[in-house]
Structure 1
Amino acid sequence: MVSETVILEGHIIDSLTLSRVLDTVLVLDGAYEVASFFMGRTKGEPSRAEIVVTAPDGPTLERILHDIGQLGAVRSAPTPVRLEPAPADGVFPEGFYSTTNLDTDIYAYGRWIPVRYIEMDCGIVVHDEPDGPTAWCVPIGSIVRGDRVVVGDTGVRVKPLPRIEPSSAFHFMGSGVSSERRKEIVVAAVARAMRETRESGKRILLVGGPAIIHTGAGQYLEALIRAGWVDVLFAGNALATHDIEHALYGTSLGVDMRTGLAAAHGHEHHLRAINAIRRAGGMAEAVRQGVLKSGVMHACVQRGIKVVLAGSIRDDGPLPEVITDTVAAQQAMREAVRDVGIAIMVATTLHSVATGNLLPATVTTICVDNAADTVIKLMDRGTHQAFGLVTDCEFFLKELAAQMGL
């Protein structure tokens, strides 16, 4: 038998973290003994448990320590991380540590060092700087030969998501997906969270799909942008194209937005809209020349909103601003989510999951879709901090605009 002592600190009781750690030990054929325990006496005071974990052999113990480490359990005597050089550009060394989206520290040079720009499914690279060593979360495609990469999980500490405080806008949501609550209450919570994000100096990200335009909800998103309630917009070619189609022809997917009937030759309108923007030299030039006079993209240009349009294999055109290289699009999104405090994802599975992969777990994340599967898929892929609202995007954006006084 082999054993190791670990420390678990924080709000480990009401968040059920302690129970999850102990259950994990047992499921993986280990045993435990709680050597000492201190319970926080106030809402802000953390609890602390010292747990001796025992396993039948070394490999089993290491597996247990790895899994409970993802829940925040740290070896009582921290051991420095092991660093190995990347063998080639775009290649991690064997056994590299794969990150989660939880805040993470590494133990090196006698102290804990926070990992910058954490996101899931990346590696950790350590750099020597004049002011001391720094640790960075780096995707595999950005690795350079010789980069010093963390290998194994020794000396790695993750911080589990904190409990939802009673004062939180979303405390009333007992589960991550809401389909049977009064939806106005959920939207009011989103509006409150947006105001709190703005007050904290963080930015507001909206991730949108083309259904926003098809359902007539574009006018409400446009109003939110013009009022300054959106700082970053992620979308694909479709949302931008059909928004411009509506601005130029009054249709979306060839359907007249006033009557709901197919317009004559309406199936051509989206391509003609793309052509008009390409002829003008891009959306900003189309606005300057008076070609594009309204809509979501017009508002983004006028307000100077950061827009990332990520393309796909099915796109017509696309618009000049669409990034057709998926790796480049992902990097542009990665850079744009820094300093984002809340992400609101509306009617898009593909871009919601892509964005969720890039977000730290500390970013408040709202996913709105008329299919619960979209919200569940986002959470199943690791964005556990997400709150889901199952409803129509037109209702959501109309109600949100009203909640923001627009």
Structure 2
Amino acid sequence: MSATRTVELEGHIIDSGRMQQCFTAVMELGGSFEVEEFDVGKNEDEASYCRLAVSADDQATLQGILHELHQNGAVLRNPPNVTLEPAPADQVVPPGFYSTTNHPTEVRYEDEWIPVEHIEMDCALVVEPEGGPDGEPRAYTKVLNAIDEGDLVATDESGIRVKPPERPRGSDGPFGFMQGGISAERPSESTIRQVAEEVAETKSNGGNVLVVAGPAVIHSGAGDALAELVREGYVDAISAGNGFATHDLERSIYGTSLGMDVETLEHPRKGHKHHIWSISEVIRAGGIEAAVESGVITEGVMYECVRNDVPYVLAGSIRDDGPLPDTITDAVEAQDAIREQAREADLVLMLATLLHSVAVGNCLPSTTKTVCVDINPATVTQLLDRGSAQAVGMVTDIGTFVPTLAEFVLENEA
């Protein structure tokens, strides 16, 4: 016996490709559809509307199709209230719990749509009936290890709607130039200039710029430019690892990065020991801030972060030498620290780091503008594959990108 449900799509569903994606999903998953109503927006500010009757041979197939349509912003017509079940124990969610996307989300509770706070992919969705400041219902995401016994967890996506972000309709604006995914063939200078304009605009509007940086930033000689951006107030937070900070500190103490002089490309005698000696000096001083205050560290990105009260999160890994006293070695604690940074960010620059880019990307809502720069296109591809669809990528040498970015940002200031 066939099963049928009616869904609705609204917004810029034609030029964003969402309508086509929904049509394709229905057919590829073994269903069929009939367009019952279709209203096309007459101008770029007017939304379009489409109502579809979606059918499948059985309820299970239909449910799979509806799940896919939900990811693309389709909503059941006359949706029911969300189904909530209490968590049976700490860190245990009910079977079939709703796993969130990173798109703006609302949940239907007591016949009202409630916005979901702290939106993030791959989380549970929790509703507190009287959790708001005035006793009103509140909905928010929780990572699985933060679930408490008794939390009311959503288990039915039919009472939930998501809104994937719309891409810019034209080529104007700072992010319009980067429509079309990843490419090494775009004109680098004009692209970097537009990223610089976005950084400057974000700051002029009181926004927050988060930089996610890998060790290659220092090793390529771009550390001075990033330090200048921090000093001049264009970076509000740094997310990195033990390696990035160690290279930066080594550069201040010995003038090398991983034993190499980044100016002459020479390898001084015993240079291969500089990074571990640097870690030792910082440990002896009592940490990065203490090393700056005592004069052990006199320049660099970490120096400017301390001097200008720019917060940083150094997330550790199994590979870390030392590690530095400031490095967070507990993975869950590091995730929580990164999550707090991500919630504050309006623009994220991911610079030459695969693991940290993916880690931060997992915590970002899809409304946060994100630029990922790496010489390896696979880095940007993996970020997109993980679900950070809002990220736009530039394939270029980080040693060229960061100094040029700093030049253009400071040029806008002049």
Of 278, 284, 295, 1:279 maps to 284
1:154 maps to which residue? 158
Displacement after TM superposition at 1:325 (Å): 0.5
> Which one-letter code corresponds to 1:262 in the other structure?
H
Alignment of 1:196-345 (within 5 A): 196-345=201-350
Report the 3-state secondary structure (helix = DSSP H, G, I; strand = E; otherwise coil) of the residue aligned with 2:176: coil
1:136 maps to which residue? 140
Displacement after TM superposition at 1:322 (Å): 0.2
Displacement after TM superposition at 1:361 (Å): 0.6
* Structure 1 segments (4+ residues) deviating >6 Å: none
Alignment of 1:84-123 (within 5 A): 84-123=85-124
1:377 maps to which residue? 382
Aligned Cα root-mean-square deviation (Å): 1.1
Q: Which piece of structure 1 moves more, 394-403 or 253-262? A: 253-262
State whether structure 2 residue 382 is matched by structure 1 residue 399. no
Displacement after TM superposition at 1:256 (Å): 2.1
Structure-2 separation of matches of 1:141 and 1:185: 44
Report the 3-state secondary structure (helix = DSSP H, G, I; strand = E; otherwise coil) of the residue aligned with 1:20: helix
> Which one-letter code corresponds to 2:379 in the other structure?
T
Cα deviation 1:292-340 (Å, max 9, x = unaligned): 1111100000111110000000101111110000110000000111131
Contact 1:11 1:163 in 2 (8 A): no
Cα deviation 1:343-373 (Å, max 9, x = unaligned): 1001101101111101001111111111111
Unpaired segments ≥5 residues, structure 1: none
Report the 3-state secondary structure (helix = DSSP H, G, I; strand = E; otherwise coil) of the residue aligned with 1:41: coil
Structure-2 separation of matches of 1:398 and 1:134: 45
> Which one-letter code corresponds to 1:257 in the other structure?
V
> Which one-letter code corresponds to 1:109 in the other structure?
E
> Which one-letter code corresponds to 1:118 in the other structure?
I
Report the 3-state secondary structure (helix = DSSP H, G, I; strand = E; otherwise coil) of the residue aligned with 2:138: strand
Structure-2 separation of matches of 1:100 and 1:62: 18
Q: Which piece of structure 1 moves more, 197-206 or 344-353? A: 197-206
1:79 maps to which residue? 80
Report the 3-state secondary structure (helix = DSSP H, G, I; strand = E; otherwise coil) of the residue aligned with 1:53: strand
1:183 maps to which residue? 188
> Which one-letter code corresponds to 1:38 in the other structure?
D
Structure-2 separation of matches of 1:247 and 1:165: 46
> Which one-letter code corresponds to 1:64 in the other structure?
I
Structure-1 separation of matches of 2:295 and 2:97: 53
Cα deviation 1:191-248 (Å, max 9, x = unaligned): 1111222233320010001111111110000011001110010000011011111101
1:366 maps to which residue? 371
Structure-2 separation of matches of 1:12 and 1:226: 43
Contact 2:199 2:409 in 1 (8 A): no
Q: Quote the sequence identity (%).
A: 47
2:50 maps to which residue? 49
> Which one-letter code corresponds to 2:391 in the other structure?
A
> Which one-letter code corresponds to 2:196 in the other structure?
A
State whether structure 2 residue 385 is matched by structure 1 residue 354. no
Structure-2 separation of matches of 1:45 and 1:123: 34
Structure-1 separation of matches of 2:185 and 2:347: 23
2:169 maps to which residue? 165
Unpaired segments ≥5 residues, structure 2: none
> Which one-letter code corresponds to 2:3 in the other structure?
V
Displacement after TM superposition at 1:66 (Å): 1.1
> Which one-letter code corresponds to 1:219 in the other structure?
D
**TM-score by structure 1 length?**
0.98
The number of residue pairs the alignment matches comes to 406
Report the 3-state secondary structure (helix = DSSP H, G, I; strand = E; otherwise coil) of the residue aligned with 1:402: helix
Report the 3-state secondary structure (helix = DSSP H, G, I; strand = E; otherwise coil) of the residue aligned with 1:263: coil
Structure-2 separation of matches of 1:132 and 1:305: 36
Structure-2 separation of matches of 1:80 and 1:365: 34
Cα deviation 1:87-128 (Å, max 9, x = unaligned): 111111100001111111111111111111111111101112
Contact 2:75 2:158 in 1 (8 A): no
> Which one-letter code corresponds to 2:141 in the other structure?
C
State whether structure 2 residue 64 is matched by structure 1 residue 63. yes
Structure-2 separation of matches of 1:375 and 1:200: 28
Report the 3-state secondary structure (helix = DSSP H, G, I; strand = E; otherwise coil) of the residue aligned with 2:343: coil
Contact 1:237 1:318 in 2 (8 A): yes
Report the 3-state secondary structure (helix = DSSP H, G, I; strand = E; otherwise coil) of the residue aligned with 1:305: coil
> Which one-letter code corresponds to 2:59 in the other structure?
G
> Which one-letter code corresponds to 1:196 in the other structure?
E
Displacement after TM superposition at 1:257 (Å): 2.7
Contact 2:179 2:392 in 1 (8 A): no
Structure-1 separation of matches of 2:262 and 2:70: 53
The verdict on how the C-alpha distance between 1:266 and 1:346 changes in structure 2, with shifts beyond 3 A counting, is same
Report the 3-state secondary structure (helix = DSSP H, G, I; strand = E; otherwise coil) of the residue aligned with 1:405: helix
Structure-2 separation of matches of 1:220 and 1:82: 51
Structure-1 separation of matches of 2:255 and 2:239: 23
> Which one-letter code corresponds to 1:344 in the other structure?
L
Displacement after TM superposition at 1:258 (Å): 3.1
Displacement after TM superposition at 1:8 (Å): 0.5
Structure-2 separation of matches of 1:41 and 1:258: 58
Structure-2 separation of matches of 1:145 and 1:5: 36
